[in-house]
Homo-oligomer: A and B are copies of this chain.
Amino acid sequence: MKPGVSPDTFPPRSHEAKRTSVVDAAASVFCREGYAGANIDLIAAEAGVSRQTVYNHHGDKEKLFMAVVRDLTERCNAGIFATIATFPDQPADLESDLVAFAVRMNRNCICNRDGRFLRKLIQAEGERYPELFAEWREQGPGRTWSALAARFARLAYAGHLSIDDPDVAARQFLALVNAELQITFMLGGMPTEEEVLRSATNGVRTFLRAFGSRKTTSVRQAALTHA
Interfacial residues, chain A to chain B (CB-CB below 8 A): 32-37, 119-120, 122-124, 126-127, 133, 137, 141, 162, 164-165, 168-169, 171-172, 174-176, 178-180, 182-183, 186-188, 202-203, 206-207, 209-211, 213-214, 223-224, 226-227
| Residues of A contacting B: mostly | helix
Having A33-B36, A172-B179, A175-B182, one finds 7 other A-B pairs with CB under 8 Å, namely A34-B34, A120-B123, A120-B124, A122-B187, A123-B187, A137-B183, A214-B227
Interchain residue pairs with CB less than 8 A apart (28): A32-B127, A34-B35, A37-B37, A120-B123, A123-B123, A123-B187, A124-B124, A127-B188, A137-B183, A162-B226, A164-B223, A164-B226, A168-B180, A171-B179, A171-B180, A172-B176, A172-B179, A172-B202, A172-B203, A175-B176, A175-B178, A175-B179, A176-B176, A206-B210, A206-B211, A209-B209, A210-B210, A213-B227
**Nearest CB in chain B to that of A39: its residue:** B36
In whole angstroms, what is the CA distance A98 to B26 when docked?
45
Q: Is A172 within 8 A of B120, CB to CB?
A: no
Complex interface: chain B residues within 8 A of A33 (CB): 36
**Copies of this polypeptide in the complex:** 2
Given contacts A35-B34, A36-B37, contact A141 B210 (CB under 8 A): no
In whole angstroms, what is the CA distance A187 to B119 when docked?
10
Complex interface: chain B residues within 8 A of A224 (CB): 162, 214
**Nearest CB in chain B to that of A185: its residue:** B123
**Nearest CB in chain B to that of A32: its residue:** B127
In the complex, which of the residues B164, B179, B203, B227 contacts A162, with contact meaning CB atoms closer than 8 Å? B227
In whole angstroms, what is the CA distance A182 to B227 when docked?
32
In the complex, which of the residues B126, B179, B183 contacts A141, with contact meaning CB atoms closer than 8 Å? B183
Complex interface: chain B residues within 8 A of A171 (CB): 179-180, 182
**Nearest CB in chain B to that of A170: its residue:** B179
**Nearest CB in chain B to that of A130: its residue:** B187
